[in-house]
Chain A
């Protein structure tokens, strides 16, 4: 039960206790110093109030020991704040391996979320309690920011980049989410609700709401044909461009000898700026799709490429570096 004037929002994610702990720690140090300084000033203010109109103060020019003390002690305290804060942040920026992947797209002035089965929501986000959830954030236009106060986390949604954030909801309920990066006229209306459900309820909601026609793999497959991707990216690797079978998540050998992991960001870049990273053994033939695909279409294509994992062995010419054989 929240009081009429709460001091903190509900704690509903794995990060919330850590962030609140930091808050309490730093607040107590700061309140101590602010209170001490205020008391000293007030005490001196009255104690040393001018006694006679022409009285002067007692000349003290400084004290090196005091200076050293008030440089060293605050430095040590600051270092503890830094370290604890850094630990929480590093944890936040590195999502654990087993996550529920949800895509979130921000555009002026609404949020679209897409569940792993392709189910789409607008200004709502359903997540199961106790499960690590990773949001991949994309923007159609300006910079937005996905902020869930009850989870104590936020991340900017930057056009041209994929940012990710993760959290583990710990308490079922309905919680506000906000756009917290100013994004134009209706910035303040660009929010909604995160609905944290029991896993069984979540599964039921996910299946009950249907979503076959919204399946991003199907949409991606259709785009793959419509945009003529399929004419070069032949599945058997004999096309003019690398086969995409089994590419997702694999290490790709590039023409310059380096390898990259074919993650969402790599696939996105390869679609929009094909010449940024050329796969070894391929020619830079692919046209750019910059400005021709919406973020949702890119996500659909990514989902389709992700689905092409059925072949047990990467096809010849797929560009996938066979890490086990140490191919040169």
Chain B
């Protein structure tokens, strides 16, 4: 047994899922959840690139008050397509369909997801939906904003709205099927001994996410279909001239699209809940509170949608109720942050890249979450609603939170996925660059918003220029922070040091098998007889059950 991880001189296993068979057909017709996860990895990265190019053009354009780069029509298309590509085709599938797909079966000791063929089907649906959207982007583009508010989208826009809403409608089924697959898998395929409260918090987070996917996605799918039908056949669902109501669209749209925020952030919280105990080498603080808070966020998250509509003229009483519930949903997120922070106490903290991403996540998510308190405040929202304050807030949640979680998760499980390690120093450097670049890009936007710069403006009064230039400067650093990992992770797939089964080491079941795992995940069905994140009673990890750093007094 090896004494000091990571031990040098590992070799890749002889048979694993990557070399089980070769050829394009073996990938496109695979039902192996790990290969499907890699198909998703490639496709979401593609959409991330597309969305990123749009974002770059937006930031360059906003360097000067009158717009430096493109016409107003083009600018409107850029921010719309940026939002559609990033939200529906990158953020929503990113962690669940890539990391969740790859990791949930080995984490619970299963050979695959419950419905392997449906899993493959969900990827094809995603690709078909993606093709519709790319068709929309390349034939006239899309200029409605990712929110598709009617009657702008259903009547007034001259852009390719119909293929885009069809694409998002189709893509919704991919999400629903993935969610369904996760729920059934977690319920029915846990290995012997893997009780609900031994589940990794990553699995709890995905369970909560899957509930939102299954219950919420049909609503946005049908809503966008209605908007598409109104556009194609001049039906009057949302058109006031025909007796419809444009506000109805917003209710239906946000009934999904607010919970969708939790589809994006909950899995990232799951990733962080794995990384923190692993790199602090101690049990997570308040396991049951973190697990329960995921479920609480998923449930309460369904009852806050109309906080996007405080200034639409909705009833004052409705606004009061939704503001109150929005404050309520902040509490479980706060609970998570406090528990993660407490987990560090008396830990044995390593400064590896995944930990840097996780701590960066806590910092950025805290700012993102706290600024949600400003927007939930009715009296403050009447000023900052639809300004850059909102843009900054949700980028802190979605980019600072969800994307940091995704990139951190990729770094954490990369050795499991590829069997290889990436360059250590470079990865730490990239994590720091990402954190700094992100803050430089988006923090100025809080101030811009409070000063009154509305969102979705292709030109702006000159007094807003300084902050916009700062933001664009930050974005160039941020871009470097994304390009670096893309380069060295790709490089490591071929040239990285062989990782061995459990390089960190971590306590999860997925680390008890080879890296990369065999097609069936485990050579023999594992039996779980340990508690989650327990480093002391796990001689198989090769760690000395070292003397505690301080005597126990009353704790535990």
A interface vs B, CB < 8 Å? 4-9, 15, 18-19, 22-23, 26-27, 29-30, 33-34, 37-38, 40-41, 44-45, 48-63, 66-67, 70-71, 74-75, 78-79, 81-82, 84-90, 92-94, 108, 141-143, 145, 147, 149-150, 152-156, 158-161, 163, 176, 178-189, 273, 290-291
**CB within 8 A of A84: which of B243, B280, B282, B379?**
B379
Question: Which residues B343-367 have CB closer than 8 A to chain A?
Answer: 344-351, 359, 362-363, 366-367
**Contact in complex: B313, A163 (CB < 8 Å):** yes
**CB within 8 A of B379: which of A58, A60, A85, A94?**
A85
Q: How far is the CB of A140 from chain B (nearest CB, A)?
A: 10
B interface vs A, CB < 8 Å? 3-5, 72-73, 76, 143, 145, 149, 151-152, 155-157, 240-243, 245-247, 280-283, 285-289, 310-313, 316, 319-320, 323-324, 327-328, 330-331, 334-335, 337-339, 341-342, 344-351, 359, 362-363, 366-367, 370-371, 373-374, 376-383, 385-387, 447, 450-452, 454-461, 463, 466-467, 534-536, 542-546, 548-550, 552, 555-556
Q: How far is the CB of A245 from chain B (nearest CB, A)?
A: 30
Q: How far is the CB of B463 from chain A (nearest CB, A)?
A: 8
Q: List 27 A-B contacts (CB under 8 A).
A: A22-B380, A27-B374, A54-B5, A60-B283, A61-B556, A63-B286, A70-B338, A75-B331, A85-B323, A85-B380, A89-B319, A89-B382, A92-B382, A108-B156, A145-B386, A145-B454, A147-B452, A147-B454, A153-B382, A158-B240, A160-B240, A160-B241, A161-B247, A180-B386, A181-B386, A188-B456, A188-B460
Known: A52-B546, A56-B348. A184 touches B450 (CB 8 A): no
**CB within 8 A of A147: which of B243, B377, B386, B447?**
B386
CB neighbours of B330 from chain A (8 A): 74, 78
**CB within 8 A of B377: which of A9, A41, A82, A187?**
A82
**Contact in complex: B380, A63 (CB < 8 Å):** no
The residue of chain B having its C-beta at the shortest distance from the C-beta of A91 within the complex is: B379
CB neighbours of B280 from chain A (8 A): 48, 57
Q: How far is the CB of B310 from chain A (nearest CB, A)?
A: 7
Cα separation A89 to B307 with both chains bound (whole Å) = 13
Q: How far is the CB of A184 from chain B (nearest CB, A)?
A: 6
CB neighbours of B289 from chain A (8 A): 62, 67
CB neighbours of A84 from chain B (8 A): 377, 379
CB neighbours of B545 from chain A (8 A): 56
Interface of A is mostly: mixed
Cα separation A57 to B345 with both chains bound (whole Å) = 9
CB neighbours of A187 from chain B (8 A): 76, 456-458
Known: A54-B5, A156-B311. A180 touches B282 (CB 8 A): no
- A56, A75, A188: most-surrounded residue (chain B CB, <10 A): A56
The residue of chain A having its C-beta at the shortest distance from the C-beta of B377 within the complex is: A85
Cα separation A18 to B555 with both chains bound (whole Å) = 45
The residue of chain A having its C-beta at the shortest distance from the C-beta of B370 within the complex is: A30
Given A6-B451, A7-B447, A182-B455; 4 other pairs, CB 8 A cutoff? A62-B288, A141-B151, A154-B383, A184-B152
CB neighbours of B385 from chain A (8 A): 154, 180
Which 9 residue pairs across A and B have the least CB separation, nearest first? Answer: A160-B240, A149-B452, A88-B379, A57-B282, A89-B378, A85-B377, A180-B454, A57-B347, A44-B344
**Contact in complex: A5, B347 (CB < 8 Å):** no
**Contact in complex: B313, A62 (CB < 8 Å):** no
Cα separation A307 to B466 with both chains bound (whole Å) = 51
The residue of chain A having its C-beta at the shortest distance from the C-beta of B344 within the complex is: A44
Known: A26-B377, A159-B240. A185 touches B72 (CB 8 A): yes
Known: A9-B451, A34-B370. A143 touches B149 (CB 8 A): yes
Cα separation A78 to B323 with both chains bound (whole Å) = 10
Cα separation A147 to B447 with both chains bound (whole Å) = 17
CB neighbours of A108 from chain B (8 A): 156
Cα separation A18 to B330 with both chains bound (whole Å) = 23
CB neighbours of A159 from chain B (8 A): 151, 240-241, 246
Cα separation A37 to B289 with both chains bound (whole Å) = 19
The residue of chain A having its C-beta at the shortest distance from the C-beta of B149 within the complex is: A143
Cα separation A25 to B535 with both chains bound (whole Å) = 43
CB neighbours of B376 from chain A (8 A): 81-82, 85
Known: A60-B285, A154-B382. A86 touches B320 (CB 8 A): yes
- A53, A62, A108: most-surrounded residue (chain B CB, <10 A): A62
The residue of chain B having its C-beta at the shortest distance from the C-beta of A162 within the complex is: B313
**CB within 8 A of B73: which of A23, A33, A161, A185?**
A185
**Contact in complex: B3, A186 (CB < 8 Å):** no
**CB within 8 A of A82: which of B327, B467, B548?**
B327
Q: How far is the CB of B72 from chain A (nearest CB, A)?
A: 5
Known: A19-B383, A188-B72. A155 touches B460 (CB 8 A): no
Cα separation A273 to B242 with both chains bound (whole Å) = 10
Q: How far is the CB of A313 from chain B (nearest CB, A)?
A: 35
**Contact in complex: B341, A81 (CB < 8 Å):** no
**CB within 8 A of B327: which of A79, A147, A183?**
A79
Cα separation A278 to B422 with both chains bound (whole Å) = 75
**Contact in complex: B344, A184 (CB < 8 Å):** no
**Contact in complex: B346, A57 (CB < 8 Å):** yes
**Contact in complex: B4, A53 (CB < 8 Å):** yes
Q: How far is the CB of A157 from chain B (nearest CB, A)?
A: 9
Q: How far is the CB of B395 from chain A (nearest CB, A)?
A: 17
Cα separation A264 to B331 with both chains bound (whole Å) = 42
Cα separation A110 to B447 with both chains bound (whole Å) = 27
CB neighbours of B366 from chain A (8 A): 33-34, 37-38
Cα separation A6 to B546 with both chains bound (whole Å) = 55
**CB within 8 A of B324: which of A54, A56, A82, A154?**
A82
**CB within 8 A of A54: which of B4, B156, B386?**
B4
CB neighbours of A185 from chain B (8 A): 72-73, 76, 143
**CB within 8 A of A74: which of B76, B331, B459?**
B331
Cα separation A60 to B533 with both chains bound (whole Å) = 11
Known: A62-B287, A88-B378. A145 touches B311 (CB 8 A): yes
Q: How far is the CB of B143 from chain A (nearest CB, A)?
A: 7
Known: A8-B451, A82-B377, A158-B312. A141 touches B156 (CB 8 A): yes
- A150, A159, A182, A183: most-surrounded residue (chain B CB, <10 A): A182
**Contact in complex: B459, A189 (CB < 8 Å):** yes
Cα separation A26 to B349 with both chains bound (whole Å) = 33
Known: A49-B351, A145-B311, A184-B157. A59 touches B377 (CB 8 A): no
**CB within 8 A of B382: which of A6, A19, A34, A188?**
A19
Cα separation A183 to B455 with both chains bound (whole Å) = 11
CB neighbours of B349 from chain A (8 A): 44-45, 48-50, 57
CB neighbours of A58 from chain B (8 A): 282, 346-347, 548-550, 552
CB neighbours of A54 from chain B (8 A): 3-5, 542-544, 546
CB neighbours of B243 from chain A (8 A): 273, 290
Cα separation A88 to B447 with both chains bound (whole Å) = 22
**CB within 8 A of A60: which of B3, B534, B555?**
B555
**Contact in complex: A33, B370 (CB < 8 Å):** yes
Q: How far is the CB of A123 from chain B (nearest CB, A)?
A: 14
- B243, B335, B349, B366: most-surrounded residue (chain A CB, <10 A): B349
**Contact in complex: B287, A23 (CB < 8 Å):** no
Cα separation A51 to B550 with both chains bound (whole Å) = 14
**Contact in complex: B373, A26 (CB < 8 Å):** yes
Cα separation A182 to B386 with both chains bound (whole Å) = 9
Known: A34-B366, A159-B151, A188-B458. A81 touches B327 (CB 8 A): yes
CB neighbours of A182 from chain B (8 A): 76, 145, 149, 152, 455-456
**Contact in complex: B348, A55 (CB < 8 Å):** yes
Cα separation A38 to B348 with both chains bound (whole Å) = 19
Cα separation A54 to B538 with both chains bound (whole Å) = 12
Q: How far is the CB of A237 from chain B (nearest CB, A)?
A: 30
CB neighbours of A60 from chain B (8 A): 282-283, 285, 342, 345-346, 555-556
Cα separation A74 to B330 with both chains bound (whole Å) = 9
